[in-house]
Amino acid sequence: MRSRVGEEIRIDQQRRAGEMSATDRLAAALEMGERAIADYMKNFQVSRAAAVRILRRAGQAGRRYSACLDDDAHAGSDRRGR
């Protein structure tokens, strides 16, 4: 069973996102990311670098390794997720 309030919020969010330009949506997403980093830094008293590292690691938890996401990936790379 879906929440009526939740459904209304979802519809409103989709409508607002549809009215935004791609540039505005990107800016909003980047702002949310910065806010998440700032909140993590404040709540756990860690540096910005530590917060970014921890949040990236948490975002990758449970995902499969993909060499195409490595900055230094190239043909013949033998990293295999290590």
H or E element, residue 27: helix 22-44
Q: With respect to residue 24, please indicate whether it lies within any of the assigned structural domains.
A: yes
Q: With respect to residue 82, please indicate whether it lies within any of the assigned structural domains.
A: no
How many other CB atoms sit within 10 Å of the CB of residue 51? 19
Residue closest to 79 by CA, chosen among 41, 47, 70: 70
DSSP 24: H
Over the chain, what is the mean pLDDT? 85
Q: With respect to residue 81, please indicate whether it lies within any of the assigned structural domains.
A: no
In this model, does residue 82 exceed pLDDT 80?
no
Number of structural domains the chain divides into: 1
Q: With respect to residue 74, please indicate whether it lies within any of the assigned structural domains.
A: no
Per-residue pLDDT, 79: 53
Per-residue pLDDT, 65: 78
Judge contact between 34 and 40, C-beta under 8 A. Answer: no
The amino acid present at 70, given as its one-letter code, is D
Q: With respect to residue 78, please indicate whether it lies within any of the assigned structural domains.
A: no
Q: Residue 68's pLDDT band (boundaries 50, 70, 90)?
A: confident
Q: With respect to residue 56, please indicate whether it lies within any of the assigned structural domains.
A: yes
Q: Which residue has the higher pLDDT, 35 or 60?
A: 35
Range of the domain at 47: 4-69
In this model, does residue 36 exceed pLDDT 90?
yes
Q: With respect to residue 40, please indicate whether it lies within any of the assigned structural domains.
A: yes
